[in-house]
């Protein structure tokens, strides 16, 4: 499974991110995360183990308690923290939209979508371009982290070729770089 899918695929993960990557930068033991999130302890433990394997969280033992905190040194720490902070305090995504209205995304409430659209309308063209550039760069960092995880021995050139293959496709990669991602792997 791709690292992006692993990061963004679960309600449990979102709750843990809110607690560990939020404004308070908490260090919490498993039971406290379970209590604050309202999720089952087994689910929380399993998710924390996955996040620890991805090196997104660090664990340390104090007596008989295992504490978890966000890994501040991880390449994606700032991006995840920014996602958490940007979504903190927004209304529940399940809030109903007016009759007949469908939001652009099924996981965004009508109210949040209206706020987003109004914020985009207030942006200057330069601000919009900067936002797009920031998102593209974050996407590339996430993709590159996944490639590094799958190919830890890869050279910098190979990493860049694999990243380019995700964007350009096989035909262009073969034609321009003489590198076939179907043979080498994406």
- Asked if the structure places residue 156 within a domain, the reply is no
Q: Is 155 left (phi over 0), alpha (psi -120 to 50) or beta?
A: beta
The C-alpha R_g of the chain, in whole angstroms, comes to 20
pTM over 0.75: no
- Asked if the structure places residue 83 within a domain, the reply is no
* Residue 38's pLDDT band (cuts 50, 70, 90): confident
Place of tokens 């590094």: 148
Report the pLDDT averaged over residues 93-118: 71
CATH number at residue 63: 1.10.10.10
**42: containing domain:** 10-70
- Asked if the structure places residue 20 within a domain, the reply is yes
- Asked if the structure places residue 184 within a domain, the reply is no
Residue with the bigger pLDDT between 89 and 136: it is 136
pLDDT at 92: 43
Report the pLDDT averaged over residues 144-161: 92
Classify residue 48 as exposed, middle or buried by CB count within 10 Å of its CB (0-12, 13-18, 19+).
buried
φ and ψ of 185, to 5 deg? 95, 145
Is pLDDT at 4 greater than 60 in this prediction?
no
pLDDT at 49: 93
- Asked if the structure places residue 4 within a domain, the reply is no
- Asked if the structure places residue 162 within a domain, the reply is no
Report the pLDDT averaged over residues 60-73: 90
pLDDT tens-digit map of 126-137:
999 999 999 999
Q: How many structural domains are present in the chain?
A: 1
Q: 165 with 172: CB under 8 angstroms?
A: no
- Asked if the structure places residue 38 within a domain, the reply is yes
- Asked if the structure places residue 22 within a domain, the reply is yes
* Residue 94's pLDDT band (cuts 50, 70, 90): very low
Report the pLDDT averaged over residues 61-80: 89
Classify residue 11 as exposed, middle or buried by CB count within 10 Å of its CB (0-12, 13-18, 19+).
exposed
């Amino acid at each position: 499974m791709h690292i992006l899918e692993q990061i963004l695929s679960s309600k449990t993960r979102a709750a843990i991110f809110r607690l560990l990557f939020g404004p308070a930068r908490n260090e919490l033991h498993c039971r406290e995360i379970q209590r604050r999130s309202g999720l089952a302890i087994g689910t929380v433990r399993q998710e924390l183990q996955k996040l620890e394997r991805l090196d997104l969280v660090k664990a340390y033992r104090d007596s008989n308690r295992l504490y978890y905190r966000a890994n501040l040194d991880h390449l994606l720490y700032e991006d995840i923290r920014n996602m958490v902070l940007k979504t903190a305090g927004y209304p529940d995504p399940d809030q109903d939209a007016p009759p007949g209205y469908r939001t652009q995304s099924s996981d965004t409430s009508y109210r949040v979508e209206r706020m987003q659209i109004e914020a985009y309308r207030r942006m200057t063209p330069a601000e919009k371009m900067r936002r797009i550039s920031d998102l593209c760069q974050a996407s590339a960092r996430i993709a590159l982290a996944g490639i590094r995880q799958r190919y830890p021995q890869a050279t910098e050139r190979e990493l860049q070729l694999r990243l380019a293959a995700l964007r350009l496709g096989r035909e262009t990669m073969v034609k321009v770089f003489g590198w076939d991602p179907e043979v080498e792997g994406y």
